[in-house]
Amino acid sequence: MNTPTLDSVRERGALRAAVSRGIRGLSLRDGDGGWSGLDADVARAVAAAALGSSDAVEWAPTDPADRLGRLAAGEVDLTVCNVSWTLGREAALPVLFAGVTCYDGEGFLVRADSGITRPEELAGRRVAVQAGTTSAANLASWYGGRGLSVEPVAFATPGETLAAYAAGECAAYVLDRVALAGERAALDDPAAHRILDAAISREPMAAAVRDDDPAWFRLCRWVLQLLVSAEHHADEVGERDKALAQAAETAGAHGPAVGLDQDWAARVLDAVGTYADVYERNLGPATGLAVPRGLNELWTRGGLHYAVPLH
């Protein structure tokens, strides 16, 4: 199997992963230099499959404007940085999205005492956005279609954007709603702020790779599919340990065909668990974020994650 990216990852002994500069629940560095979050766990899963260790990751904190540019330039091997899968991005850059990590939509963070309950009520006001995201275009599309407008104010990093909103420079902060849950938690008094119920766009956050290595694309895609399929199989079987062992054995048999060994799937599930485990660990009630799974449920529970067969 000719996969230059996998060869270079193994020669280096680490997967280079572009992540955010710090969004709780998605990718956030702790005081000891470790990283947590849904995006970080996806990178760990790929490292476990490719290198045998989920710790074999070189983290590359990246500004929103550079998430795919660094990937295209060969500075990283994988981008898992709350970036939405769009035609425009795949058309403009030599990248491919290997699969959706989190279905989301852009929403608004506002002050709880502002009286604002609907996006329409922000018309004419300043709204903080992260540079390099689709937020400004989404705002123009949503408000323009209703004969309204807002004033988007762009900041280079999540930290600068949140600080500007917290300082009162803008009436709202617009970002994917899952990411906003993490940003809200970082404020001095999270209870003084609320995320509006409405979403103004579709934002399928996805993992991305370069388009010059189909085998690497296939490997990353099936690592993601394994997480969802293993959750579905555990639901069907009812006995978690038995179900995960079966899923690992079924998927593992195809390892050599995608440049891996037969134990790759077992390593992934041992390292991060199923998609349900990843979501609960990073966004569930125990995290303080308590982001409902909603669209990120399995399709059998009304969500959008459909388990592709592993056989």
The CATH number of the domain holding residue 51 is 3.40.190.10
pLDDT value at 2 more than 80: no
Q: Which tens digit of pLDDT belongs to each residue from 107-116?
A: 999 999 999 9
Asked if residue 275 and residue 254 are part of one domain, the reply reads yes
Is residue 311 situated within a structural domain? no
Distant-in-sequence, close-in-space partners of 194: CB < 8 Å, separation ≥ 6? 109, 110, 111, 112, 184
Is residue 145 situated within a structural domain? yes
Domain's final residue, options 183, 201, 219: 201
pLDDT value at 158 more than 90: no
pTM summary value? 0.93
Q: Which tens digit of pLDDT belongs to each residue from 224-239?
A: 999 999 999 999 998 9
- HEC profile for the chain? CCCHHHHHHHHHCCEEEEECCCECCCEEECCCCCEECHHHHHHHHHHHHHHCCCCCEEEEECCHHHHHHHHHCCCCCEECCCCECCHHHHHHCCEEEEEEEEEECEEEEEEHHHCCCCHHHHCCCEEEEECCCCHHHHHHHHHHCCCCCCEEEEECCHHHHHHHHHCCCCCEEEEEHHHHHHHHHCCCCHHHEEECCCCCCCEEEEEEEECCCHHHHHHHHHHHHHHHHHHHHHHHHCCHHHHHHHHHHHHHCCHHHHCCCCCHHHHHHHHHCCHHHHHHHHHCHHHCCCCCCHHHCEHHHCCCECCCCCC
Asked if residue 162 and residue 43 are part of one domain, the reply reads no
141: domain range? Answer: 106-201
Q: Which pLDDT band holds residue 72 (cuts at 50, 70, 90)?
A: very high
Given this model, what pLDDT does residue 76 score?
98
Q: For residues 53 and 32, what is the distance between their CA atoms, to the nearest angstrom? A: 19
pLDDT value at 66 more than 70: yes
pLDDT value at 181 more than 90: yes
Considering the chain, what is the average pLDDT of its residues? 95
pLDDT value at 133 more than 90: no
Given this model, what pLDDT does residue 31 score?
82
Is residue 142 situated within a structural domain? yes
Q: Which tens digit of pLDDT belongs to each residue from 86-99?
A: 999 999 999 999 99
Asked if residue 285 and residue 175 are part of one domain, the reply reads no
Is residue 70 situated within a structural domain? yes
Q: For residues 219 and 55, what is the distance between their CA atoms, to the nearest angstrom? A: 18
How many folded domains does the chain comprise?
2
pLDDT mean over 213-228: 97
Given this model, what pLDDT does residue 300 score?
96
Q: For residues 163 and 17, what is the distance between their CA atoms, to the nearest angstrom? A: 26
Residue with tokens 């509006």: 196
Q: Which tens digit of pLDDT belongs to each residue from 30-65?
A: 888 889 999 999 999 999 999 999 999 999 999 988
pLDDT mean over 130-138: 89
Asked if residue 11 and residue 98 are part of one domain, the reply reads yes
